[in-house]
Amino acid sequence: MSDGHVQRTRTGNGRRTKKSPVESTRDMVRRWWIALLAFPVIAIAPVAWFVLQPPDHDDIELAIREYGFEPLTPPNQLRGPGALYQVEGNSYTKICDADAAILEGKVHTSPTVEHIRKRLERGKLSLSGNYVEDVNAKLNGARVTSIEYRMTNVSIREIPMDHLMEIESHLLSQARCDEIVQRVLKANKQVCSGYSALAATTSYKVHYDVKFAVDAESKVPIMNAVQKTIEEDAGGTIHIRNGDELHGENLFYGIRLSQFCITPDTATEPSVRAPPRTAGVLSRVGGVSD
């Protein structure tokens, strides 16, 4: 009978000898232990990579949508809770804005769930090329290569339904606001209130072209140009923290609109906004404008 398939090992003099049943059993047990110990490492490695790898820009926008908000890019204070918006699908335009006096005491702040906060705060985002182009145009030279930003202190700003109705009534009592709302409704468009926003403190990091010598003194006009450009779109104050970092508080990264919209007097049924697309069937939002 052929012994070609019998498990063998080498002896010290180079000759092969058969393993005993006890040795074969030990080898089998050893291989099982190696496999069992290696499996958790293999299984955990992809998860560890996902946890340690910072989310990219698209993942942050997807996360914001998954948590029920429409992303606002770049983050700003121009589209927040209390305003009235014309809605077309997942795109919307602000048509009436509530002033600080009517909002006072009606916007409540609450922390986000811990895993949401961590996912968002791990992300690193970049301002669009238009920002860099605008800054370099003001400097008459390509000094800035990119502007990255991160969010911290993520929270949710929300207006309870009873206060939201009060704010709507206040806005519609103003002739100019009521006129534009009526025009939009007659065009068979929906008008809905923003009632919640995802807010965060934002830290900006400016990167320079290495071809230029950038010292502390020469950074001043560059940072002033970056500050002014960001403030124009953020609708809030941006502070310069040091030579290449800026800081903005309470900027909105996402907004939620009320499901219950303004119903025209001639309507036979309430105006209810269709729920936004959820994860898995999301398509990129066409855009948001003031």
**147-186: pLDDT as tens digits:** 999 999 999 999 999 999 999 999 999 999 999 999 999 9
Q: Compute the distance between CA of residue 86 and CA of residue 102 in angstroms, rounded to an integer.
A: 21
pLDDT of residue 117: 87
Three-state DSSP at 290 gives coil
Q: Which residues of the chain have pLDDT under 70?
A: 1-58, 213, 276-290
pLDDT of residue 27: 61
pLDDT of residue 54: 52
Three-state DSSP at 256 gives strand
pLDDT of residue 32: 55
Tell me the per-residue pLDDT of 114-147, one tens digit each, with 9 for 90 and over.
888 888 988 888 887 888 888 888 888 878 999 9
CA of 223: how far to CAs of 144, 241, 251, 267, 285, in Å? Answer: 10, 10, 20, 53, 32
pLDDT of residue 209: 84
